[in-house]
Amino acid sequence: MDLVTPGIGMIFWSTLFFLILLFILGKFAWPAILTAVKARNESIRNALNAADKAKAEMAKLQADNEKILAEAKVERNAMLKEAKQIKDSLIADARERAAEEAEKLVQSAREAIQAEKAAAINDMKAQLAILSIDIAEKILRVKLDDVKEQKDLVDKLVNEADLN
């Protein structure tokens, strides 16, 4: 039973060593340990603050990114609208120029047709005059072979000349 119940001397010496150990630890070890714990707590607190700041900055950057994205979309839409207007304007101008050019070509063709028509009519008149002269010449040759017919023709022409 001695093993289970300690003696008074053992309790005294155990208590004395415990108190000396407690004094030495309190004097030398606890301040260093507490300083290390406080430094660790401070570094954790700083890390948490930095994380909060980073989170806030990320939220701000995300908001800025969304704002920039929205502005880019608006600018893109404006550019697309402007490009469409330019395209429509160019198409309208091209159609207008094509219509004007077509009108000029039609007018030029009409003038060319009129000129060709007038030239053809003049050519036909000239050929008709030549043909008429040839026919009249042949008729006169046939009729003027006879002297009596020549005299009758001259008299007729003189009478017509007097009437005018």
Domain boundaries, the chain: 8-163
Q: What mean pLDDT, rounded, does the chain reach?
A: 87
Return phi, psi of residue 5, to 5°: -105, 120
Q: What percent of the chain has pLDDT over 70?
A: 93
pLDDT of 141 above 80: no
Q: What is the pLDDT of residue 131?
A: 81
**Inter-residue contact 145 to 139 (CB < 8 Å):** no
Q: What is the pLDDT of residue 3?
A: 62
Angle at 42 between CA 39 and CA 44, to 5 degrees: 110
pLDDT of 164 above 60: no
pLDDT of 126 above 70: yes
